[in-house]
Chain A
Amino acid sequence: MDYATDLEVLIGGPAGSGVFATGAVAAKTLLQHGYDVFTTNEYPSTIRGGHQWVLVRAKLNGKAFSHRGTPDAILALDAHTALEHGGRLKDRGAILCDESVAQTLNMHRIVPLPLSKIVKEAGAPPVAVNMAGLGALLGMLGCDLELLLNAVKRQWEKARVAELNVKVAELGYEEGVKHGSMLSFKVRRVEAKQRLLLDGNSAVALGALAGGMSFFTAYPITPASPILHFLAEVQEECGIIVVQAECELSSINMAIGAAFAGARAVVATSGPGLSLMAEALGAAAMTETPIVIVNVQRSGPSTGLPTHTAQGDLRFAIHASHGEFPRVVLAPGDPVEAYQLSCEALNLAWKFQVPVILLTDKFLAESHWTVHELPEVELQDADFYQPEPSVKYARYKLTEDGVSPLVFPGVKGVRIYTNTNEHDEQGFVTVDPAVVKLMQEKRFRKLKELSKLSESRGVKVYGEGDTALVVWGSVKSVAMEALEKVEGVKLVQVIWLEPFPRRSLAKEIEGCKVLVAENNFTSQLVSLMRENLKLEPHAVLNKYDGRPFSPQELNEFMKANAGGFHG
């Protein structure tokens, strides 16, 4: 008998069959066994019907950076799942399904199980077949029953529902044990410190809380809504205001109003929402009101693939809104970075009084990674104006670094005039060419310090080699996985996209053969490299089918284009 050190299981079924809950319980159970767990999913934009799946990868020695895409076991809640994914099943794997489903399938490695019977016997509703199936799967894998049942119990809030699911899972587990010989590899329990299974969306929300966010607003949109759900759930506990706005035009303007009144405000959306916010983004910049916009990218253009991933909004985030103004665009590559950068986004927005856009994507937002410990982040308070007698407050005072004194309504004797029109130091409308010029220059002076920060924090490097694979955003995670099978390639991740860390990126890739991989059609990072570094990469790999790269794809790309490959 082997112990599974790198296990991948796929759970699939029609939307509404509890696929995600099943995946969550599987992931938590394996996490509690001491494995490093990664999960990702795919689902259609429907509530009932349509195929969806969760993939759970668990590694014993080392980090699960991403999916492998070759499941060791499949829990098929319908025939479609077996047919769709069976072809990628590993040789020694198994496809578990209900007897009734098995009858319709003519495939190898099928394990027919009396899942519906178990559910009936337990007096549970038919949907509970998912827990019977998961119980069976984890039973076959030799998991610890107690850890499984504990995870099941924690999944459901209502005691009665939890109880039924525990019963079903236990019966399923017993059935699975009987078929244990079908799988020659077993899950092993090892001692491990308490760890977290964190998705990108939650990490962004947590980072914002750590960064002092006190006002959050959003209009529901996939795949950003989980941020709203989480923050709405904890709003009382955290003492923050959460507002569901009537549209994205409203949400960003509410955030601007909230920030003007003194709250660290964050708004989350996806591409279509950011499109709607474009005008107000400029308003935040012109009024120098600090706001953070989280854009969870999905496939476009237009409605596109609402539930699928992409990196198509990079240039849009950098240029959105008319006119010219400084802004910051940051892109985390995993939940730890999402947590750090979400906090940092607030610090930067308030220190420099500029809009900051945090670019994530569906793959990062809704996949889960094992996090050992969240890094220390620090809320940095901005400098606030202290009223001086007989000195008139000037919201847009011309300063050396371009940052003007900030204060909120309610201070005796202080009048704050904030204006989306071009304005003078006091905030009054102006068309005076000399003042207009001074104000534009004042705003852009902030770039000096921001560019320094970008150069010092904007690029991360992993490994060594004379070939550099340059990526941004969630491609980092897949690339980390791919990198494990490569020598001579270093991974270069661009975290600050605006202002662009021109010098530090140039330094990192100097003398290297440069490869770039992006989840878009037009190679938007490459275009920034051309513009800022006057550099043409040796090869570019684009993916624009709504799916993240697979580690294999990146491996092949590196193999075809780099020296020193031993994969």
Chain B
Amino acid sequence: MVEKVFDTGRRPQWCPGCGNYSILAAVKAAFTDLALDPSEIVAVAGIGCHGRMTEYLNVNAFHAIHGRAIPVAVGVKTVNPNLTVIVHTGDGDAYSIGLSHLLHAARRNVGIKVIVHNNMVFALTTGQAGPTTPKGVKTRSTPAGNYEEPFNTILLALASGATFVARGFSDDVQHLKELIKLAIKHRGFAFIDVLQPCPTFYDLRQILKQKVYKLEKHDVTDFKAALELALESERIPVGVFYHVEKTAYEENLGSAIKRLSSVKEFSKIRLSKLLARFS
């Protein structure tokens, strides 16, 4: 039972059958299961259909500009590591215009939780091909069929040094909820690529349902095994590919963060100490 506490009371508005409904449900259920305080959560969203998540999730929220949700979240998490910082971002947001931020946040192991609403198409802009649109697919920007290769997003995350790499499927809310819970509890950067059918512009629901299978008996600390799984193409594994513990970025700044409150009392004594080098 999802508590109303994470609900703004606004009726979600997406296309009927949109995967975003399920992702929203999974996120709220994960927050509920973990008994999180909504005022201790910050959701940062980018631009795309996923962007409306912040309208419905009753937690602190920052609806950022296109592609820049991740750096905003990095700023938040760095300054206040006590907050649970969730990034909702789309495939256009995270893999196209804002790709570099995803890779660098993973490399730094900043303790933000990135949920990519990957519907493999630019939907809010009414159906253009994106960096995860498979080859051959006809969209409004690829009327003769897409001739570009899509990114392998799990490989991207693994190659960037992400310490938690998972894939979910929006149709399996329970499974996705568990992935989100693991991500939130993870010490550093967490990445979940969520396959999400877009019933309006690129409806893969039936194909995904056939191809998706849950990862079992996989050693999540085995990087090479994770790479192998990421390369699977006939079937699509969902679940945790990789999960290891490393120092989170913000932990390196521990001492600075503790002193944040005292910065405002930047005293004359401290200033004069700094000035010695200029005399």
A binding-site residues for B, Cβ under 8 Å? 31, 194-198, 202, 206, 209-210, 212-215, 217, 234-241, 243, 245-247, 249-251, 253-265, 279-280, 282-283, 287, 371, 374, 379, 381, 408-421, 427-429
Contacts and interface: CB of A to CB of B under 8 A. Distances in A.
B74 A257 contact: yes
A265 B80 CA distance: 13
Given A240-B263, A409-B83, A253 B256 contact: no
A28 to B, nearest CB: 8
B64 A209 contact: no
Contacts of A212: 263-264, 266
Nearest to A257: B75
Nearest to A279: B65
Given A254-B78, A409-B76, A415 B266 contact: no
A413 B58 CA distance: 11
Given A209-B271, A254-B78, A260 B72 contact: yes
A261 B60 CA distance: 10
A450 B79 CA distance: 29
Given A197-B278, A197-B279, A409-B83, A246 B101 contact: yes
Interface string B75-113: 111111011000000000000000011001000000000
Nearest to A196: B278
A214 B61 contact: no
Interface in B21-64: 37-42, 44, 52, 54-55, 58-64
B256 A381 contact: no
Contacts of A417: 54, 60-61, 63
B76 A240 contact: no
Contact of A263 (B255, B260, B270): B260
18 contacts: A195-B279, A206-B271, A214-B260, A215-B75, A235-B256, A237-B273, A243-B74, A247-B100, A250-B74, A253-B75, A254-B72, A258-B78, A261-B79, A263-B75, A264-B263, A412-B37, A417-B60, A421-B63
Contacts of B67: 249
Q: Which 6 A-B pairs have the closest CB atoms?
A: A257-B75, A239-B259, A253-B71, A257-B72, A258-B75, A254-B75
Given A283-B68, A408-B80, 17 more contacts: A196-B278, A197-B279, A214-B79, A214-B263, A215-B78, A239-B258, A249-B68, A254-B78, A255-B75, A257-B72, A258-B76, A259-B75, A261-B42, A263-B79, A412-B37, A414-B60, A428-B8
The listed residue with most A CB atoms (<10 A of its CB), out of B74, B100, B273, is B74
B10 interface: yes
B204 interface: no
B274 interface: yes
B253 interface: yes
A420 B79 contact: no
Contact of A239 (B42, B44, B78, B255): B255
The listed residue with most B CB atoms (<10 A of its CB), out of A214, A282, A409, is A409
B275 interface: yes
A237 B255 CA distance: 10
The listed residue with most A CB atoms (<10 A of its CB), out of B37, B82, B260, B273, is B260
B279 A254 contact: no
Given A241-B256, A260-B72, A415 B39 contact: yes
Interface string B240-279: 0000000000000101111110111010001101110011
B73 interface: yes
Contact of B75 (A194, A256, A279): A256
Nearest to A194: B279
A261 B10 contact: no
A217 B253 CA distance: 14
Given A257-B44, A279-B65, A245 B78 contact: no
A215 B79 contact: yes
Given A195-B279, A254-B78, A260-B62, A412 B39 contact: yes
Nearest to B103: A246
B39 A414 contact: yes
A417 B8 CA distance: 11
A253 B63 CA distance: 12
B68 A418 contact: no
B274 A237 contact: yes
A214 B260 CA distance: 6
A135 B253 CA distance: 43
B266 A209 contact: yes
Given A263-B260, A283-B65, A415-B59, A253 B72 contact: yes
B253 A241 contact: yes
Contacts of B58: 415
B263 A418 contact: no
Nearest to A209: B266
A238 B278 CA distance: 17
Contacts of B101: 246, 249-250, 253
Contact of B71 (A236, A254, A262): A254
Contacts of A241: 78-79, 253, 256-257, 260
A239 B270 CA distance: 11
Contacts of A240: 256, 263
A428 B10 contact: yes
B275 A415 contact: no
A147 B229 CA distance: 68
A262 B82 contact: no
A417 B101 CA distance: 23
Nearest to B68: A253
Nearest to A246: B104
Contacts of A381: 264
A410 B279 contact: no
Contacts of B255: 236, 239
B60 A419 contact: no
B65 A410 contact: no
A250 B104 CA distance: 10
Nearest to A412: B39
Nearest to B253: A241
B78 A287 contact: no
B253 to A, nearest CB: 5
Contacts of B274: 206, 209, 234, 237-238
Given A212-B264, A418-B61, A236 B275 contact: no
Interface string B3-24: 0000010100000000000000
B68 A238 contact: no
Contacts of B262: 239
